[in-house]
Structure 1
Amino acid sequence: MAIRLSGMVSGMDTESLVSALVSSYKLKKDNLVKAQTKLSWKQEKWKTMNTSIYGFYSGKLSSARFSTSYNLKTSSVSNDKYAKVSASSSAVSGTQRLKVKQLASTGYLTGGQIKAADGSKVTGDTKISDIVGTTDGSISFKTASGTKSIDITSDMNVNQFVSKLKEAGVNASFDENNARFFISSKESGKDNDFSLVANDSNGLNALQKLGIYTVNDTDSAEYKRLAALTEGSDAYNTELEGMYSKITAEDTAKSYADKYNAAKDKLDALAADDTWDHSLTLDEYVAKLKTETPDILNAYDKYKKEKVDSEGNTVKDSDGKVVYEYDTEAMEKDGVKDEYEAAVKKKASNESLIKVYDDNSKVIEDTKDYVTIGDDGKAVADASNANILQEVNDTNADRQAKAKALLDSKIAMASNVAGSASSSGAVRITGQDSEIELNGATFTNNSNNYSINGLTIEAMEVTGNDEVTITTNTDVDGIYDMIKGFLKDYNDLVKSVDVAYNAASSKGYEPLTSDEKDAMSDDEVKKWEEKIKDSLLRKDSTLGSVLDTMKNDMARSFKVGDKSYSLSSFGIATLGYFNSPENETGVYHIDGDKDDSKTSANTDKLREMIASDPDTVISFFSQLSTQLYTDLGKKMAASSTSSAYTIYNDKQMNTQYSEYNTKISEAEDKVTTWEDYYYSKFSAMESALAKMNAQSSSLTGLFS
């Protein structure tokens, strides 16, 4: 802001005069600011109100439309040590009989305590061969996901063996403190159990020495099943096919085509790179690099020196040759260190490019006879290619031969063992299904949990000869609380809407300017603004329309069967105009509600009807909620002036707020323009007076 010094000659209060002259323009600007402030307050008021309305709409009102929200059932069991029971809305009311005949168990193996062959402690790093005394053994794990073999190799340690067990589809760990393996199924139940068998004599030795061989029904059954297989039988062929995966000509052809095209793309990228001289072909350029690159560092041979270790000894490689390094300190003294480092980078870059070229050229050379090249130079998968067919046949034959050798070994091992070898101190719990009897019918499951006709049953303990009863009834309290919660949210909303709609008038109150606020205390300003804010939605037609919709829908009747019902049919009503507190004429009260002092003494009609005829209660409240939900949804529909799920004209208000910004800016410009105009006039007057005074002084001097 410019600093103006005026009235120095005339003695007039120029600022006050200018302020008075432009006061009408300032008043227009202030009125626009007040109107915009009031609009922003109204927007905030509407946002808060809209949040409350939408919260009710999408919350309790939405869920109250569906009968499943009311169809609550409660179940109890006569002895909860045997079972836990809960009921869904579809459960049948009444009493049912339950027996728990068997609990589900998870297949579990606690290994025997083991030591290394030399008697030392076994750790995760201990070689398996140091425990079992042999290598090249093979064992098989059979789980619900299939059969997987584990080969015992000379370099495998305990931790790696545990990883192989996990890969086979079980949980596994080794406890170093107790020197035992622990193995279990991933899930409970008979079908999820595992079997652990030897594929050969070394495999059997490994199971025993590792403390994980047991004589149990599951493993014995697996040995017996394998021993019964005869070569050429359907069972044998099925087992064999399950032990190896065949490759197909289609997949193999696609694999070769993908490899060819990936390599070609990389070579094409090299050819398109603009960092090299394209007067040569890519082949010529790479050939040139292969000739030049080995000699790039020859210029720095005089800086080579033998590499020595920390003790001053000459370092040699695995072939006994002396290792050299470059003396960069000497290079720096001679001023060639930067050149050398650039040459090193150049050599590395060339070698990288050469490697990419050679690697991908080799891929193309190796795959070209297995693909058909299209017009675009890309490889096309060709499953009929003779080379493909030959490879597929050879690979499948090789896989089948290996699988057959393993299967024959397993059969021979199973025939010799048949589950009769001595145990290794391991304890085995076989997986089994649970079994219950409900109303005389038998049910089994791989876990102890059942979902039967709306009941969720968790078996806890075998009942033996005992029997427990399950009693299922309508959850009167649950349905009552659902309705009470719905009405509470409705009451809170309708009361807040009534308060806003029936607010006292704030006629004569407008938002304060900064000068007006300075003349009042903070408390006075707060009360002044609250007076305006509280009245912003007073008698608002949009809010009144929403209020009427809510009250009218709640007062409606709905037919259930041949009879019409209203809220009063269930002992739910307002207190009436003369008995209701201010702004609570639309609030509903439930007769007999112990939490409502106004109606707690009345007969609890709602609870009685829920207990005697829950279907009627549920049907009525579902219809009522659906009607109110539909009508409120229409009020919240998107339009040219309002957004979706918005009661008020938020779009229009946002536009109005932006328009006020423009008008206020224009009004401020007008105030400034007129201020500058009047100040220029007064300044001219001051200048004229100053000249006149100077002339008068001169004349006075002449005459004196």
Structure 2
Amino acid sequence: MSTIQFSGLASGIDTDAVVAAMVSTYQYKIDNYEREQTLLQWKQEAWTEMNSQIFSFYDTYLNQMRLESTFNQKTVSVSDSSVIEVGSSQTLPEGTHTIDYVESLAQNASITTSALTTESGASVDSSTTISELSDSPLAPGESITVSVSDSVDANGNPVYTEITLTGDMTMSELRNTLNSALSNTSVTFDSNAGAFFISSSKTGESQFINIAGDDADKLYQILGSEVPATSTTGTVSSAITYQDAVEATGSTTLSSLLSSHDATLNDGDTLTLEIEGKTVTVELSSSMTMDEIADAVQAKIDASGDITNSSIAFDADSASFVVTTTDEDGNETTENADFTVTNVDTGENSAVASALNGKVRIWEDQKANADTTLGELGFTDGVDLELRFTTADGEVITSVLSNMGENTTLESIANAMQRDEALIAAGVTISFDETNGYFSFSEGVELNFTDQYGFSLNEDFGIQENVTIYNTQGSNAVLSYNGVEISSESNNISVNGFNFTVKSTTDQAVTAVASIDVDAIVDYVTDFVDAYNTLIADIITKIASSGSGYDPLTAEEKATMSDSEIEAWENSIKAGLFYGDDDLQSILTMMRTTLNSVVDGNEFGTLSNIGISTQSWEEKGILYIDEDKLRAAISTNLDAVTQLFAGNGSGTTNSMGVIDQLYNNISNLTKSSDLKSAFSFYNDKVLDTKIDTASDNISKWEDRMAAMEAIYYARFTAMETMLAALNNQSSYLAQLSAGTT
């Protein structure tokens, strides 16, 4: 509850002014602590900015100049630029280098295609379907399944993905299907050219595109490509899949529902519902959604005129068509719709009706994972699994897992195989590949699953036997450098510090002459010196600036000034925040001393002997470069120049390069301690504590002032109340006196 204050109503005293004067000593304390806190916060902000400047110099320029590779810059001229193109960064030894020959370039794995045409001879665009192609192997409604691969698993075995192509699939849909199945291959269709373009994203003999299956030749035909002349027969492993039901939604289409049930909607199929003794009939189309089917039936109910107590809707919560009936008392009952689907020509279509009645589910293929059980794959308890491994040497190893239960996981099967002594002795490894959803085993090994009766279970475990496999392979670049033959998956070659790109083949030698790139090295040194000068010039200015000596403004003082006056006042104070700062002075002194140090055992010894020196003492360490002297030193003895900057030394600090010394010295300053955090060049923890202390003092004195104000206001309120009573009494007596006279 707030206290009612009487501000001089009876006494005429300006109570607020009097109380403010009486607590002014407290306000003085608060103002001082607020000034102290403001200065500390400004100092913190200034140090944060300076810390960033120093660390940027350390991380960018020192980190670069302490590397010998920075000084190992070369220019390279080649005798035939049509054969090799030289990269921009070169660190190869000086002298002449020879590309003796280039036998071949690295190539992508690619499928050569030609322009496609339709049966009528018209051009093909992205909307053309497979069945419309000239000599198409697929008619409308027909389909083929093939397996494609362009990557290998951890054991080096190709990872296959099964894809299904239909005669109704468009060129753009075919492109998307292939791109989804192939992770390292780009498949595009150009409508202008009417052709597919298919190649691996990288070059080299590790790149491949495999198409496998009895109908693989048909995919090549669809793509407008010649079927490869050679093929192999082998085992193809793809993801183990099982079907799982997903509840339909109102937006689920009839076509997607029926395809998962292997049901077909025929032309003229109609849906019938018996409701309130009446028959409602709706013609179906594959594009209708569940909501649209319900709406169509409801529209027929509304139009009938004699079905008045019932309605139908697709209920998303139960994933079913629900008929709601209201009796004469207003009570509602619900039940699932019971549809029939018939056709005048073909009779009843029970498969479509079955998909729509009860809970409507879409059956989707799910990729198996390590925790997938045999039960989810359709097996029951008591199955025996016989696994036959055929090694690359033709050795057959049989292992039997007896009486497997439906709760047995695929990972546990793999783990059991890993413990098989015969497999261990043969060096065969097997694991469940979670990423690809199948069993992965040693390269060159074939795996076959059968049950206790000898029936093959390979299809259940994603394995196809005796499959025709067509392979398109990438190739490596083959060349000879200084007499050594090199095989590279890329045409971008890096050898002996020589970076170049192979552009064409040749049986003639191509020479490359490497020399010191003096200009590049001078640029690196100049950039470093410029950055150093910028940093220390800023430090020197900050340390020398005393500022105005003013104190930060209080809120009361700011109220009497304009914004521009406040900004000018505060900037004059901030200019002197680093005046005489010991930490910043120490960093400056360390940097100047280190760069002026002598490197023991070095021909040049100091930076000044290669043209990098100070001039007037008044500039306090600003560096200047005598470029002619620097260039001469680089050209005369690059190794000594490199060691002067970036040498590791012989175990003593004085033998290290000056940049290495400076880098280490600054690194030591970035270590954390009780006073500062890591990568902080000032005692940030101390400054944080001081700011917190000032804040605590402000709060403490504000509380004290508020308590004293309350006491004084209470006293003045009591006085005002008493004076008011006396005034009332005097008035009363005066009235009595006036009445008696």
Task: Give TM-score scaled by structure 1 length.
Answer: 0.66
Deviation of 1:93 (Å): 0.9
Aligned to 2:497: 454
Counterpart check, 1:651 vs 2:685: yes
Match of 2:560 among 515, 519, 544: 519
1:51 is aligned to 52
Q: Provide the rounded CA distance (Å) in 1 between the counterparts of 2:533 and 2:664.
A: 19
Unmatched segments (≥5 aa) in structure 2: 246-272, 285-296, 302-306, 312-323, 339-355, 364-372, 385-400, 421-447, 647-656
Whether contact under 8 Å (1:559, 1:620) holds in the other structure is: no
Matching residue's letter, 2:631: R
- State the partner residue of 2:32: 31
Deviation at 1:628, TM superposition (A): 1.5
User: What whole-Å deviation, never above 9, does each CA across 1:222-272 have from its counterpart, x for those lacking one?
Assistant: 4xxx8xxxxxxxxxxxx65xx02599xxx9xxx9xx99xx99xx9xxxxxx
Q: What is the match of residue 621 of structure 1? A: 645
Measured after TM superposition, the shift of residue 638 of structure 1 is 1.0
2:451–2:457: 8 Å Cα contact kept in structure 1? no
Q: Quick check: 1:565 aligned with 2:565?
A: no
Q: CA deviation at 1:495?
A: 1.8
| Structure 1 partner of 2:533 | 491
State the match for 1:590 in structure 2. 625
CA contact (8 A) 2:374 2:380 kept: no
Corresponding position of 2:394: none
> Helix, strand or coil: the match of 2:617?
coil
Match among 502, 513, 519 for residue 471 of structure 1: 513
> AA paired with 1:572?
I
1:395 aligned onto 2:456: yes
Aligned with 1:457: secondary structure?
Answer: strand
Q: Judging changes above 3 Å, is the alpha-carbon distance between structure 1 residues 245 and 510 closer, same or farther for their aligned structure 2 residues?
A: same
Corresponding letter in the other structure for 2:497: G
Whose RCO is larger (CA < 8 A, sep 6+)? 1
Whole-Å separation in 2 of the counterparts to 1:643 and 1:349: 69
Identify if the C-alpha distance between structure 1 residues 337 and 436 changes in structure 2 by more than 3 Å, giving closer, same or farther: farther
2:8 counterpart SS class: coil
**Structure 1 residue runs without a partner (length 5+):** 227-238, 267-299, 312-322, 411-428, 593-603
Distance 2:136 2:677 in 1: 76
Distance 1:657 1:444, change over 3 A: closer
Separation in 1, partners of 2:664, 2:537: 21
Secondary structure at the aligned position of 2:282 is classed as coil
Cα gap change, 1:212 to 1:650, in 2 (>3 Å): closer
Q: Deviations over 1:149-180 (max 9, x none)?
A: 99999968685887898769976666666665
Query: Secondary structure at the residue paired with 2:719?
Result: helix
* Distance in structure 1 (CA, Å) of the matches to 2:138 and 2:122: 17
Which of the pair is proportionally richer in helix?
1
Instruction: Check conservation: 1:102, 1:433, Cα contact below 8 A.
Output: no
Kindly indicate whether the alpha-carbon contact (under 8 Å) linking 1:53 and 1:493 is maintained by their aligned counterparts in 2: yes
Tell me: CA distance 1:177–1:504, structure 2 relative to 1, closer, same or farther (3 Å): closer
In structure 2, give the amino acid aligned to 1:534.
A
Write out aligned runs for 1:249-648 (5 A): 303=276, 305-309=278-282, 328-329=310-311, 331-332=325-326, 334=328, 338-340=332-334, 366-370=380-384, 390-391=451-452, 394-395=455-456, 434=477, 436=479, 438-439=481-482, 443=486, 445=488, 447-461=490-504, 468-504=510-546, 506-507=548-549, 509-561=550-602, 563=603, 565-578=605-618, 580=619, 585-592=620-627, 604-622=628-646, 623-648=657-682
Q: Which amino acid aligns with 2:632?
A: E
Identity of aligned residues (%): 26
Q: Aligned in 2, Cα 1:134/1:126: closer, same or farther, shift over 3 Å? A: closer
Tell me which residue corresponds to 1:425. none
Alignment partner, residue 235 of structure 1 = none
Closer/same/farther in 2, CA of residues 2 and 103 from structure 1, 3 Å limit: farther
Contact 1:128 1:158 in 2 (8 A): no
Change over 3 Å in CA distance of 1:64–1:391 after alignment to 2? farther
C-alpha displacement of 1:125: 1.7
CA distance in 2, matches of 1:406, 1:342: 50
SS in 2 for 1:559: coil
Deviation at 1:609, TM superposition (A): 0.7
- How do 1:5-20 and structure 2 match up within 5 A? 5-20=6-21
SS at match of 1:485: helix
Give the Cα separation in 2 of the matches to 1:461 and 1:437: 14
Could you tell me how far apart the structure 2 residues matched to 1:158 and 1:21 are? 91
CA spacing shift, 1:339–1:586, aligned 2, 3 Å? farther
Identify the residue that residue 77 of structure 1 maps to in structure 2.
Answer: 78
| Matched letter for residue 91 of structure 1 | L
Q: CA separation of 1:2/1:552 partners in 2, compared to 1, >3 Å: closer, same or farther?
A: farther
CA contact (8 A) 1:87 1:454 kept: no
Tell me, in whole angstroms, the C-alpha distance in 1 between the residues paired with 2:90 and 2:195: 49
Cα distance in 2, alignment partners of residues 35 and 165 from structure 1:
69
Q: For 1:304-337, what per-residue CA distance to the aligned partner results, in whole angstroms no more than 9, with x for missing partners?
A: 54222379xxxxxxxxxxx999952583463566
Partners in 2 of 1:518 and 1:697 — Cα distance? Answer: 45
Alignment of 1:135-154 (within 5 A): none
Q: Does 2:724 match 1:682? A: no
**Which residue pairs with 2:287 in the alignment?**
none
Distance in 2 of aligned mates of 1:364 and 1:207? 35
Cα distance between partner residues in 2 of 1:59 and 1:149? 47
CA distance in 1, matches of 2:457, 2:131: 34
Please say if residues 103 and 448 of structure 1, whose CA atoms lie closer than 8 Å, have aligned partners that are also in contact: no
Deviations 1:532-584 (A, max 9, x none): 212222222222222222222222111245x5612212221222324x3xxxx
* DSSP-derived class of the 1:395 partner: coil
Q: Which amino acid letter does the alignment assign opposite residue 682 of structure 1?
A: F
Question: Is the 8 Å Cα contact of residues 381 and 403 (structure 2) preserved in structure 1?
Answer: no
Deviation of 1:27 after TM superposition, in Å, equals: 0.9
Contact kept, 8 Å, 1:560 with 1:620, in 2: the verdict is no
Q: SS of the counterpart of 2:572?
A: helix
For 2:211 and 2:36, the matched residues in 1 are separated by 84
The equivalences for 1:118-267 within 5 A come to: 124-127=128-131, 131=135, 159=171, 184=199, 188=203, 212-213=225-226, 222=230, 243-244=234-235
Cα distance change of structure 1 residues 36 and 3 upon mapping to structure 2, 3 Å threshold: farther
Letter in 1 for 2:235: Y
Change (3 A) 1:246 1:479: closer
CA distance in 2, matches of 1:537, 1:182: 66
Counterpart for residue 64 of structure 1: 65
* Other-structure match for 1:294: none
CA 1:103–1:504 in structure 2 vs 1: closer, same or farther (change >3 Å)? same
Q: Using the alignment, how far apart are the partners of 1:686 and 1:140 within structure 2?
A: 99
TM-score of the superposed pair, with normalisation by structure 2? 0.63
Would you say how many aligned residue pairs link Structure 1 and Structure 2? 575
